[in-house]
Amino acid sequence: MAKSKKKKSIGIMDFINGTSINKVPWESYTDVEKKAFGPFMYIRWISMNNDLTEVANLFQKYTVSLLDAEHVYKLYYSLLPKQKITFKYFKGKKEDKYNKELITLLAEHYKESKYHVEEYLDILSKSTEGVDELIYILELYGTTEKEKKKMLKF
């Protein structure tokens, strides 16, 4: 008995390529794929191309509120030339500013969310009194000298 291959889900870039370089008609998508098309995200991506920003801006007031997904797709399908569209999308770096163990410990200590604890750390880490307070809290929870150095590296 052969295993059936699971079809890869369709993403925003598939729709962008479908309206531009591949010119895939709306009718060729399945109902599930059609439901995956989001006009807002599509326009957001299209507007990241310098050549298409004005077009996206011009039609945005019609496409987001007045037209349904099918008509938005068909509009851009007819407007865009059959060519590859490139984007200058800048994704933010996924860096942890502070040690995760420190954030978890402080969230428990202050009975606050981790988001708020990071805000506290932004303030506390800028002064020697703040760092001293952090050291005091870490000592309350029995952290070793090595753990403290690791947690307070910012």
For the cut 70, the answer to whether the pLDDT of residue 5 exceeds it is no
pLDDT in tens, 27-52: 999 999 999 999 999 998 999 898 99
Confidence (pLDDT) at 7: 62
Mean pLDDT of 75-81: 95
C-alpha angle 117-123-126 in degrees, rounded to nearest 5 = 130
Residue 88: band (very low, low, confident or very high) from pLDDT cuts 50, 70, 90 = confident
Confidence (pLDDT) at 6: 57
pLDDT in tens, 118-147: 988 988 888 888 899 999 999 999 999 999
For the cut 70, the answer to whether the pLDDT of residue 113 exceeds it is yes
For the range 93-100, what are the long-range contacts, defined as Cβ-Cβ under 8 Å and sequence gap of 24 or more? 97/121, 97/154, 98/125, 98/154, 99/150, 99/151, 99/152, 99/153
Amino acid residing at 17: N
pLDDT in tens, 54-75: 999 999 888 877 899 999 999 9
The answer to whether the beta carbons of residues 70 and 34 sit under 8 Å apart is yes
| d(C-alpha 82, C-alpha 24), whole Å | 11
